[in-house]
Structure 1
């Protein structure tokens, strides 16, 4: 990949979209992961106002530390970058306490994890509204169009997606040229929605390199290894199950004869 030319292309695209939208800048949630680090740096590179927001909810300390180091670096490099921290832990606890208990604790924990992402989305749009900014998305191609590894109306609720046509490996390539801090480049990818150290691979059952292979696989399944068959099965299952995230919201189109 022609990394620097790709960076220039994305930043020009972002500036053009910002101008067309008649908004003033970008707001982005910074998690301490590679995708938000790259996206926030691209936002900063546009030269337009960029508000980086930390949104911890009982977050693992390593994630909070990486996010703060990244933001500090951005603010030292770019005069157009500002930041704020909004701790949503108490908000989340109040929401959780108001819900009825259910027997399936695993299902409840999963749903509450998605609720964390939706609380963050709501907060980002609050700041976008008061500043006339656009919410920049952080999803990459594997997550957004491969396995659907994101929360609908959570981290999937954004105004523009600078990374959505890039594989995870390509995001890492860009991170090097953007001088993203080494702690983030070396960290295991995690969505941070469970307040612990579990990684994306722990949740999905396959690495991003494996998922990229599966996403592009077009060969004879009889000729691949047992592990590759397992990865392909994981990918196909998630790709099918999460189509409701990837497709436009279905609209019930009423026949004209019913409207007469």
Structure 2
């Protein structure tokens, strides 16, 4: 991959989209992870206004620190970048307090994790509306089109997806080329939705390089009978998640009513 050429292409694409849409700039949620660091840096390079939002909800201190350091680096380098920190913890806690009790704690925790992402999405669009900006998504190719590892109408609720054609390893590569801070480059990827230090790999059961292999797997060139036990396990994980999350990756089903019923 020609990193410099890819970076220039994405930056031009982002800038062109804003100009064509008659908007003014970008809002990016910065989490302290590699995807949001790359997306916000690419947005900054357009020269258009960029608002970086940090939106902690019972966030691990390490994530908050990385996000702040990254934003400080961007603001020092790019005069078009500004930032706002909005602590959503009190809002989230009040939301939780108002919910009725449920029998399944596991389902409750999962639903509340997704609620965090949706609360952040609402906040991003609030600020986007104030400034006539667009929300730049931070999802990569494996998450968005492979295993569906994102929250529907949460971090999946965006206006554009600048890095969604990049594998996770390619995201790391571009981030290194752009000089993203070392603390983010070496941090384990995490969605930051659980209030602890669990990584994406802990949740999925496979690393991103393994998932990328599974996403590219072609049985005609590598028969399944030749796979190692770990490769079979990873392929099973990928296939299960890909099938289960098709509702995220496909367009919303529309009920097409027959014309004869409408006359």
Give your verdict on TM over 0.5.
yes
Match of 1:79 in 2: 79
Partners of 1:191 and 1:82 lie apart in 2 by 23
Partners of 2:74 and 2:143 lie apart in 1 by 25
Gaps in structure 2 of 5+ consecutive residues: none
Residue 223 in 1 paired to residue 226 in 2?
A: yes
Q: TM-score, normalised by structure 2?
A: 0.98
1:223 positional shift: 0.4
Q: TM-score, normalised by structure 1?
A: 1.00
Alignment of 1:97-246 (within 5 A): 97-219=97-219, 220-246=223-249
Q: 4+ residue runs of structure 1 moved beyond 3 angstroms? A: none
Partners of 1:142 and 1:101 lie apart in 2 by 35
Partners of 2:133 and 2:112 lie apart in 1 by 28
Partners of 1:73 and 1:244 lie apart in 2 by 38
Partners of 2:217 and 2:144 lie apart in 1 by 18
1:135 positional shift: 0.2
Residue 39 in 1 paired to residue 78 in 2?
A: no
1:103 positional shift: 1.3
Partners of 2:178 and 2:131 lie apart in 1 by 26
After superposition, the CA RMSD in angstroms is 0.4
1:32 positional shift: 0.1
Partners of 2:76 and 2:103 lie apart in 1 by 49
Gaps in structure 1 of 5+ consecutive residues: none
